[in-house]
Amino acid sequence: MQNFAVLASGRGGNLQAIINAVKSKKIKANLKVVVSDKADAFALKRAKKARIASIYVAPKDYTDRQSFDCKVLECLREYKIDFVVLAGYMRLLSAHFIRQYPNKIINIHPALLPSFKGINGIRDALEYGVKITGVSVHFVNEEMDAGTIIAQETVKITSKDTLKSLAQKIHKVEHKLYPEVIGWFAQKRLKVIGRKTVLR
Ligand code: GAR
């Protein structure tokens, strides 16, 4: 079985869904370590509770993105990590990091890419007034939120939706879709052909 790491900065709702899916063997891979750039990330508490190694790397201890990423990479090497899952990780990865794991870093984004990239995907879609938004899971490349798309699911926006209600709908879809996609990846069912990912 392959080893993987989750990188998270916040609440860890997706991390929890992943932990549950590993436990129930929907994901057939070992979640070895959770790394965060935020000391108080609730994701670290979830990891500890599930007896998964958790590491905080303090950005202030590093002069630039690459040296910070080198420390994270060192942690990943220590745990013999084969692939990396970003779950609400609010830092851009350096090109150096991405080159260590080509097509082996997966991210989830709370909008239908290539629309509403960035850190406020849910709010930006709501404010723009689109009627349909959703969730995208994609491989990470050197451009922000621009890697090959693996899977997408739609979420309808009604006139009654608030940021809170829309976020709840998005998170519900995320917590189902992300473990499923990670499960496919772990079983080597994903093949990247140019801009497209094929599920075999
Ligand atoms: C999720 O909605 C995820 O899609 C989003 O952050 C949230 C993290 O929640 N990621 C991005 O916006 C990346 N650009 P969580 O910590 O509860 O999983």
Instruction: Give the pLDDT confidence score for residue 70 in this predicted structure.
Output: 98
Instruction: Give the pLDDT confidence score for residue 132 in this predicted structure.
Output: 98
Pocket lining: 12 vs ligand 1, CB cutoff 6 Å:
yes
Q: Which one of 46, 90, 109, 163 would you pick to mutate in the ligand 1 pocket, going by the greatest count of ligand atoms within 8 A of its CB?
A: 109
Structural domain boundaries in the chain: 3-199
The rounded Å distance from CA 188 to ligand 1 centre is 25
> Inter-axis angle of helices 163-186 and 13-23, to 10 degrees?
40
**Average pLDDT value for the chain:** 97
pLDDT per residue, tens digit, the chain (200 aa), is 999 999 999 999 999 999 999 999 999 999 999 999 999 999 999 999 999 999 999 999 999 999 999 999 999 999 999 999 999 999 999 999 999 999 999 999 999 999 999 999 999 999 999 999 999 999 999 999 999 999 999 999 999 999 999 999 999 999 999 999 999 999 999 999 999 999 99
Smallest CA-to-CA distance from 143 within 117, 167, 162 is with 117
DSSP-derived secondary structure letter, 187 = T
192-195 contacts at long range (C-beta below 8 A, 24 or more positions apart): 192/103, 192/139, 192/148, 195/148
Report the nearest atom of ligand 1 relative to the CA of 87.
18
Pocket lining: 88 vs ligand 1, CB cutoff 6 Å:
yes
Instruction: Give the pLDDT confidence score for residue 16 in this predicted structure.
Output: 98
Tokens of 199: 């599920």
Q: Which residue is catalytic, options 109, 138, 171, 175?
A: 109
| Helix ranges, 34-154 (H) | 42-49, 65-78, 95-100, 121-128
Is 109 known to be catalytic? yes
Pocket lining: 85 vs ligand 1, CB cutoff 6 Å:
no
The domain made up of 3-199 has a fold known as: Rossmann fold (3.40.50)
CA 121 vs CA 45, 104, 113, 143, 185: distances in Å? 25, 23, 9, 16, 24
Instruction: Give the pLDDT confidence score for residue 55 in this predicted structure.
Output: 98
Instruction: Give the pLDDT confidence score for residue 86 in this predicted structure.
Output: 98
Instruction: Give the pLDDT confidence score for residue 61 in this predicted structure.
Output: 97
Q: Which one of 46, 108, 155 would you pick to mutate in the ligand 1 pocket, going by the greatest count of ligand atoms within 8 A of its CB?
A: 108
Pocket lining: 109 vs ligand 1, CB cutoff 6 Å:
yes
Instruction: Give the pLDDT confidence score for residue 45 in this predicted structure.
Output: 98
